[in-house]
Amino acid sequence: MTTKQGSTQPGTDDRPVKLACRNVWKLFGANAANFIRERDGKACMADVAAAGLVGAVRAVDLEIRQGEIFIIMGLSGSGKSTLVRCMSRLVEPTHGKVEFEGKDLLKISDAALIELRRHRMGMVFQNFALLPHLNVLDNIAFPLSIQGQDRSTREARAREVIELVGLRGREHFYPRELSGGQQQRVGIARSLATKPEIWFLDEPFSALDPLIRREMQDELMRLQTMLHKTIVFITHDFDEAIRLADRIAIMKDGEVIQTGTPEELVVNPATDYVAEFTRDVDRAKVISARSLMRACDGSEHGGAVAPDAKIASFSASIVSAGKPFAVVNGTGKPIGEVTPQAVIDLLAGVDRSGARA
Amino acid sequence: MTVTASASEPRPPLQRWLLVWAVALAAVLVLFLLQSSLPWAVNYPAEAVVPVADWVSALMGWIKSNLSWLTRSITAVLGVPLDFALNLLAKNFKIGHGADTVVLPRLSWVGVCAAAFLAGHAVGGRKLSLLVGGCFLYIALFGQWTSAMLTLALISIAVPFCIVTGLFAGIWAWRKPWAERLVVSPALDLMQTIPTFAYLIPMLLLFGNSPVSAMIATAIFATPPMVRATMLGLSRVPSEVDDFSEMAGCTARQKLWRVLLPSARPTLMVGVNQVIMLALNMVIIASMIGAGGLGYDVLLALRALKVGEAMEAGLAIVALAIALDRLSQAIAHKQAKGHIHQAASRSLWRRYPNLTLAIAILAVTTLLGLFLPAFAAVPKAITFTTAPLWKAAVNWVTINFFDIIEAFRVALILNVLNPVRAFCEGFPWLGAVFLLGLAGYQLSGLRLAALVAALTAFCAITGLWEKTMATVYLCGISAFIACLIGIPIGLMAARSDRFEKIVTPIIDTLQVLPSFCFIIPVVMLFRVGDVTAMIATVAFAVVPAIRYTNHGIRQVPPALIEAAKVSGCTPRQTFFRVQLPLALPEIMLGVNQTILMALAMIIICAMVGTRDLGQEVFIALSKADSGRGIVAGLAIAFIGIVADRLFNAWTAKARARLG
């Protein structure tokens, strides 16, 4: 996927920032706003606890770029749901700025916010949040109907997205007649009906069983190749995160402790906490040739791979060839090589310093 | 485990309370023994009575004389739809005056019965259609049609009124927490604990003896469950659905009307069912201020001691109650299960076959009624009357069993009722205020203590102490017996599915019966007096004791029972050491409900000659003495509130301990 390749090179991503959090805080408790304002937006965890407050989101700085899948990963209680609700202003942040295309969301009027949500934001919920009294068609057309679109226009649009998520033939079913996976397809279709630019997915697949979850992840990737939305995706499942993400932010106790591509997290975990998550990851599927390559030493090459190719995609052939593979850039010029030994070390989990030059 | 944790708590505080209670009881005993030297502490001195009743009378008088334009216009406005419904169902429309009067007929009874069949069929299938249609047919064939339709007309106007008012009040309370805390909750508590009779007096005074005042009283009485259901339903909407409506860009109004209320519909429908049943109950009682209908028939028959007629009208009320209850419950149930998709169809007939058919049948039969009198009114030839049968049965019982019944009655009065009554009526008011306050303090703290003591003192300083205690005595003894019967039945039902299957329909039916109906059969056997009141009250109030006990035992988590079995408990030990302690808070809630229902019933039993606060209200009603009636009504409400708050505090404490 093209979107994925661009972001693996830090610093080279020149896509515009769609949504940014600037020192966002959400504190619960009496006088929380004064507390954080007096400290000028700076406080450590001990201060917050000493003031009798609960810090659901603390000092979060994030930039989400147009068209990327940005995943916020954290265990329950880490504040990820609160953070995504701060981004959409479902929860009013206690301090900080949330910028949508450079404009502070927290300063716009209620009417402007409603307008923004009606046309430019979409959200999918963990437990689907379908309206029990409406059938599939009406559920999906609901956001359009409250905008005042007439029946034929909105139903035509609803049928389009029903087609898109593969629910044709179920238009007149009610939510309780559908399986969990189908209900979430309705939820997805409903959030897409308004053609939003930014798409919030709050643990959309957590309530589904593992097989269906996988199917829905594939479905999401399929939709994204067609739609190129800016996606903010919440999950507590690290495997899901590395499967889908362009970039991941890992949260703990309300703070973002590391942001990066799956590969960066696996290769350079910032803390032991992050390392703990990445430990059981199938590294060959995350790490690319670029991370494993070394400078060419003149030996004969058994093949060529792109810098972004995952190790798993060529591990079998490099080991059976027994010769290093050249890593070539877009113009076909070799920029380094990957040795069979380095691949074997990675697969076997042997850590040899220098192997990751 | 939580059970053992509560047993291993430190002992001292408990022992200290035991000591406190011993001292307090001793002090009250001393007060009682010293009553010759301290008479004011036992019986509240008559010269110190605060004339609250006079103040209320003066206020009502002022309202009546100064706001009559308002009450008259309310009567006029509400009278329009009410008259329409009464004419449509019961009375025929009369247009014009004198010789050129045109009479448009009411809906034909054949049509209404058919509509009832179809309504049952639409929401609950064949079984329900037979039940509902059967109930209406029963009413028609037993010659109660016109009265029953009068009652139904009142309900059909009062219920939508209650639903709309309740919905808006509930929304308001849900939106504004301060409104809920300061206005709605206290108002609901009062509305539901003030006895039904007491509502009637101000209505009678302000709106006269008319169906309109009966309808207003009904509306006030039946609205609270709708308010509560709205609040509950809205607060139960999942927060994600709330979030969704925000993200879809709903305005506040769109969010409420298009997302939250439709999502809360199953809970709202449960509220509607309760509104209908309460409205029916109240319409029967409101026959005393001009509602007419079945309640009035019962009232007239009871006054004339025509047990047969009373029984017949009473059974018609039962039939109407069962039909309305099952129908509205089936609708609520259908709502809760959710929608099923159907092939979309444009024609009205395809989409609503039962509705269109019902309207067609109603129209055709009513038109036929213009030409065939058999359609307009139930022909005398096909109606039955069972009144002589009932009369004969009662006569037979009185002749053959008079001695046994009389012996039972006298023994009950001499050995149980009179001693308890003497004890209660002699109980020093100061002692009661003190002991209840102490209980409030132990259970919850100073605020509850102050509330309980103040409410108890109100009963004394308005000069109603003796009557209050007469109420407490009869209510207490009835509730006690109801628990004595109900809790064991509930326990048995919880332990045997077969027994539960037998009990459930019985208590379901007992619960839908208007309170009036309980008096009729008892009065036939035991004539008027305290024994009759007591037995009717026990029958009325036994339901929650059974229901809550059964539910409490059954909701003990199966994992805990398995844990008990695995650790080697015998069934007996499992029951006494695990199930019963865990179910106790729920059972106590049932006891609380039993007391409140007993209180409501005791008041209605004033009709069969008790001598308590109910009688006070009853007399005030017949004299239209609003001050006296309202103060007595408040005293009754306060008894209920004191009992309710103490029990709730106890239950909350027990719940907290069980975690």
Check if the beta carbon of residue B217 is closer than 8 Å to that of residue B231: no
**Burial environment of residue B253 by CB neighbours within 10 A (0 to 12, 13 to 18, 19 or more):** exposed
Q: Per residue in B412-438, is it b (16+ CB within 10 Å) or e — as a string?
A: beeeebeebbeebbebbbbbbbbbbbb
pLDDT for B494 equals 87
Name the nearest CA neighbour of B282 among B516, B79, B627. B516
pLDDT of A35 strictly over 80: yes
pLDDT of B537 strictly over 70: yes
pLDDT for B561 equals 84
Per-residue pLDDT reduced to its tens digit, B371-401: 777 777 777 777 777 778 878 888 888 788 8
Helices marked H in chain A — which ranges? 2-7, 32-38, 45-50, 80-87, 110-119, 136-146, 151-164, 180-192, 210-227, 238-244, 262-267, 272-278, 283-286, 289-292, 311-321, 340-348
Percent of residues in chain B assigned helix, strand, coil, to nearest 5: 85, 0, 15
Asked if residue A25 belongs to a domain, the reply is: no
Rounded to whole angstroms, the Cα distance separating B537 from B519 reads 8
Q: Are A123 and B259 in contact (CB < 8 Å)?
A: no
The CA-CA-CA angle for residues B70, B74, B78, to 5°, reads 175
Asked if residue A97 belongs to a domain, the reply is: no
pLDDT of B6 strictly over 60: no
Do A313 and A259 fall within a single domain? no
Chain B hits for A118, Cβ within 8 Å:
248-249
Which of A291-300, B28-37, B368-377, B580-589 is modeled with the greatest confidence?
B580-589
Check if the beta carbon of residue B477 is closer than 8 Å to that of residue B417: yes
Check if the beta carbon of residue B42 is closer than 8 Å to that of residue B428: yes
Alpha-carbon distances, residue B561 vs B8, B505, B556, B579, B588 (angstroms): 21, 28, 8, 8, 21
pLDDT for A5 equals 41
Domain end: A248, A281, A314, which one? A281
Q: Are B248 and A88 in contact (CB < 8 Å)?
A: no
pLDDT for A121 equals 92
Q: What is the DSSP letter of A127?
A: T
CA distance B328 to chain A (A): 19
Rounded to whole angstroms, the Cα distance separating B332 from B326 reads 10
Q: Are B249 and A131 in contact (CB < 8 Å)?
A: no
Helices marked H in B223-339 — which ranges? 224-236, 239-247, 252-254, 261-263, 265-285, 294-303, 307-337
pLDDT for B7 equals 44
Among all residues of chain B, which has the CA nearest to that of A127?
B240
CA distance B507 to chain A (A): 32
Check if the beta carbon of residue A89 is closer than 8 Å to that of residue A105: yes
pLDDT band at B343 (very low <50, low <70, confident <90, very high): low
Chain B hits for A125, Cβ within 8 Å:
240, 243-244
CA dihedral B282, B288, B290, B295 (to 10 degrees): 60
Order of all β-strands in the sheet with A303-305: A303-305, A325-328, A334-338
**Does residue A138 sit at the B interface (CB-CB below 8 Å)?**
no
pLDDT of A320 strictly over 60: yes
Name the nearest CA neighbour of B519 among B307, B258, B208. B307
Domains of chain B: 403-428+465-659 (1.10.3720.10)
pLDDT of B168 strictly over 90: yes
A121-124 vs A334-338, strand pairing mode: unpaired
pLDDT of B594 strictly over 80: yes
Per-residue pLDDT reduced to its tens digit, B439-459: 888 888 888 899 889 888 888
CA distance B335 to chain A (A): 9
pLDDT band at B344 (very low <50, low <70, confident <90, very high): low
pLDDT band at B342 (very low <50, low <70, confident <90, very high): low
% of residues, chain A, pLDDT over 90: 48
pLDDT band at B243 (very low <50, low <70, confident <90, very high): very high
pLDDT of B557 strictly over 60: yes
Give the pair of three-digit tokens for residue B456.
């108890």
pLDDT band at B345 (very low <50, low <70, confident <90, very high): low
Per-residue pLDDT reduced to its tens digit, B173-187: 999 888 888 888 888
Q: Are B238 and A176 in contact (CB < 8 Å)?
A: no
Domain end: A239, A262, A281, which one? A281
Name the nearest CA neighbour of B310 among B319, B302, B322, B320. B302
Residue of A119, A172, A183, A184 best to disrupt the B interface, most CBs of B under 10 A? A172
Chain A hits for B256, Cβ within 8 Å:
none
Residue A149: CA count within 13 A, CB half-sphere: 20
The CA R_g of chain A, rounded to the nearest whole Å, is 23
CATH number for position A290: 3.90.1280.20
Name the nearest CA neighbour of B147 among B5, B287, B275. B287
Do A116 and A225 fall within a single domain? yes
Name the nearest CA neighbour of B163 among B239, B265, B89, B238. B265
pLDDT of B42 strictly over 80: no
pLDDT band at B659 (very low <50, low <70, confident <90, very high): low
Per-residue pLDDT reduced to its tens digit, B205-238: 788 788 888 888 888 888 998 998 999 999 889 9
A90: nearest CB among B247, B250, B263:
B247
Q: What is the 3-state secondary structure (H, E, C) of B568-599?
A: CCCHHHHHHHHHHHHHHHHHHHHHHHHHHHHH
A69-74 vs A247-252, strand pairing mode: parallel
CA dihedral B421, B422, B423, B425 (to 10 degrees): 80
CA distance A69 to chain B (A): 20
Taking residues B603-617, what's their average pLDDT? 81
CATH number for position A276: 3.40.50.300
The CA-CA-CA angle for residues B589, B591, B595, to 5°, reads 115
pLDDT band at B3 (very low <50, low <70, confident <90, very high): very low
pLDDT band at B487 (very low <50, low <70, confident <90, very high): very high
Give the pair of three-digit tokens for residue B568.
């080697």
Residue predicted with more confidence, B195 or B158? B158
The average confidence (pLDDT) of chain B is 83
Neighbours of A327 (CB within 10 A): 24
- So what's the ipTM on this one? 0.85
CA distance B256 to chain A (A): 12
Asked if residue A70 belongs to a domain, the reply is: yes
Q: State in Å, rounded, how far the first CA of chain A is from the last one.
A: 26
Q: Are B341 and A135 in contact (CB < 8 Å)?
A: yes
Give the pair of three-digit tokens for residue A215.
């199917």
Do A289 and A318 fall within a single domain? yes
The average confidence (pLDDT) of chain A is 87
Q: Are A118 and B246 in contact (CB < 8 Å)?
A: no
Give the pair of three-digit tokens for residue B402.
């008079």
| Coil vs helix vs strand at A130 | coil
pLDDT of A131 strictly over 80: yes
Asked if residue A135 belongs to a domain, the reply is: no
Rounded to whole angstroms, the Cα distance separating A100 from A78 reads 24
Asked if residue A215 belongs to a domain, the reply is: yes
Domain end: A253, A281, A309, which one? A281
Asked if residue A49 belongs to a domain, the reply is: no
Do A276 and A297 fall within a single domain? no
pLDDT of B37 strictly over 60: yes
Do A220 and A79 fall within a single domain? yes
Chain B hits for A117, Cβ within 8 Å:
246-249
To which residue do tokens 């068209």 refer?
Answer: A67
**Burial environment of residue A297 by CB neighbours within 10 A (0 to 12, 13 to 18, 19 or more):** exposed
Number of domains composing chain A: 2
**Burial environment of residue A312 by CB neighbours within 10 A (0 to 12, 13 to 18, 19 or more):** middle
What's the domain range around A326? 284-348
Asked if residue A18 belongs to a domain, the reply is: no
Do A208 and A275 fall within a single domain? yes
Check if the beta carbon of residue B431 is closer than 8 Å to that of residue B457: no
The CA R_g of chain B, rounded to the nearest whole Å, is 27
Name the nearest CA neighbour of A63 among A40, A36, A34, A97. A97
Of A245-259, B38-52, B127-141, minimum mean pLDDT range: B38-52
% of residues, chain B, pLDDT over 90: 12
Instruction: Specify which residues A100 forms β-bridges with.
Output: A19, A103
CA distance A225 to chain B (A): 24
pLDDT band at A8 (very low <50, low <70, confident <90, very high): very low
pLDDT of B268 strictly over 60: yes
Which of A142-151, B57-66, B288-297, B580-589 is modeled with the greatest confidence?
A142-151
Chain A hits for B254, Cβ within 8 Å:
146
Per-residue pLDDT reduced to its tens digit, A161-180: 999 888 988 888 899 889 99
Do A294 and A240 fall within a single domain? no
| Coil vs helix vs strand at A30 | coil
Q: Per residue in A22-49, is it b (16+ CB within 10 Å) or e — as a string?
A: ebbbbbeeeebeebbeeeeeebeeeebe
To which residue do tokens 């108890």 refer?
Answer: B456
Do A290 and A270 fall within a single domain? no
pLDDT band at A98 (very low <50, low <70, confident <90, very high): very high
pLDDT band at A1 (very low <50, low <70, confident <90, very high): very low
Check if the beta carbon of residue A200 is closer than 8 Å to that of residue A116: no
Check if the beta carbon of residue B82 is closer than 8 Å to that of residue B212: yes
pLDDT band at A9 (very low <50, low <70, confident <90, very high): very low
Do A315 and A330 fall within a single domain? yes
pLDDT for B15 equals 75
To which residue do tokens 């505090």 refer?
Answer: B649
Rounded to whole angstroms, the Cα distance separating B475 from B459 reads 16
Do A232 and A114 fall within a single domain? yes
Rounded to whole angstroms, the Cα distance separating B591 from B597 reads 10
B240: nearest CB among A117, A125, A134:
A125
Instruction: Enumerate residues 223 to 242 of chain B having a beta carbon within 8 A of any beta carbon in chain A.
Output: 238, 240-241
pLDDT band at B1 (very low <50, low <70, confident <90, very high): very low
A95-100 vs A103-104, strand pairing mode: antiparallel
Check if the beta carbon of residue B294 is closer than 8 Å to that of residue B147: yes
Phi, psi of B416 (to 5 degrees): -115, -60
Alpha-carbon distances, residue B207 vs B73, B180, B200, B579 (angstroms): 10, 29, 10, 53
Helices marked H in B413-496 — which ranges? 418-425, 429-443, 446-461, 465-495
Neighbours of B500 (CB within 10 A): 17
pLDDT of B100 strictly over 80: no
Of A50-64, B368-382, B564-578, B637-651, minimum mean pLDDT range: B368-382
Name every residue whose Cβ is closer than 8 Å to that of residue B11 and which is 6 or more positions away in sequence.
Answer: none
Give the pair of three-digit tokens for residue A237.
């499942």
Asked if residue A310 belongs to a domain, the reply is: yes
CA dihedral B307, B312, B316, B319 (to 10 degrees): 100
Do A289 and A261 fall within a single domain? no
Do A203 and A272 fall within a single domain? yes
Q: Are A174 and B265 in contact (CB < 8 Å)?
A: no
